Every structure is written in structure tokens, then in C-alpha cells.
Amino acid sequence: MSVITIALGARAGIISKAVDYKQGDAVLEGFSVYDDALQGKRPGVLVAHQWRGLGDYEKKRAEMLAKLGYNVFAVDILRKRHPPTDSQRRRSRGREVQE
């Protein structure tokens, strides 16, 4: 029993980090999450946010999926560090990034 406990304690665990990427001229910031204790190829999942932008809810879902063995990237379709404050501007910003 103690051998199992030691082996589980040595597990590195879930790694999460912000990742900058570009869509045209727009600099965006996503969120990458994976379990670095797993070796070899793993399936990937993209998590997309709602109109409010990438937030705690999407990040928590990404972590939940990573714990199931997926490499997860939570995308942000709004500009990095400058999220629009109202719904009209969010819709407009989303269209800018898509073009």
C-alpha cells in the first residue's frame, strides 16, 4: 500500500499556462493545460468561450479535461488583455478577429 502512495505522490500533475498566438494582426491569449505525467500521444481538445471572453469557467473545464488525459487549449477570440466591456463591442470584436 505504501508503494502505491509513493508512486502517486511522485506524479507531476496538471500543467497550465497562458499562450500567446496570432490571428492575422490580432494578438490573442489562450490557455494550455495538460498532464505532464502522461507519456506519448494524447488527443487534443479545443475549448471555446462565450461572448464574455476566456474566463474561469473555460479554464476550469480545460483543467477537468486535462485530468482525463487530453491536451487542452482554451482559445480566446478576443484581443489579448483588451476585452470589450459591453455585448455590442464584443460582437464587433469577434467579427474583427474572424476576418
Domains parsed from the chain with CATH numbers: 12-98 (3.40.50.1820)
Say what the pTM is: 0.69
Residue 23 has pLDDT above 50, yes or no: yes
For residue 3 the three cell numbers come to 508503494
> What is the tens place of the pLDDT at every residue in 27-67?
889 999 999 999 899 999 999 988 778 889 999 999 999 99
Q: Looking at beta carbons, which pairs linking 27-30 to residues 24 or more positions away fall under 8 Å?
A: 27/79, 27/80, 28/75, 28/76, 28/77, 28/78, 28/79, 28/80, 28/97, 29/54, 29/76, 29/80, 29/81, 30/54, 30/73, 30/74, 30/75, 30/76
Confidence category of residue 2, pLDDT binned at 50, 70, 90:
very low
Residue 86 has pLDDT above 80, yes or no: no
pLDDT at 69: 95
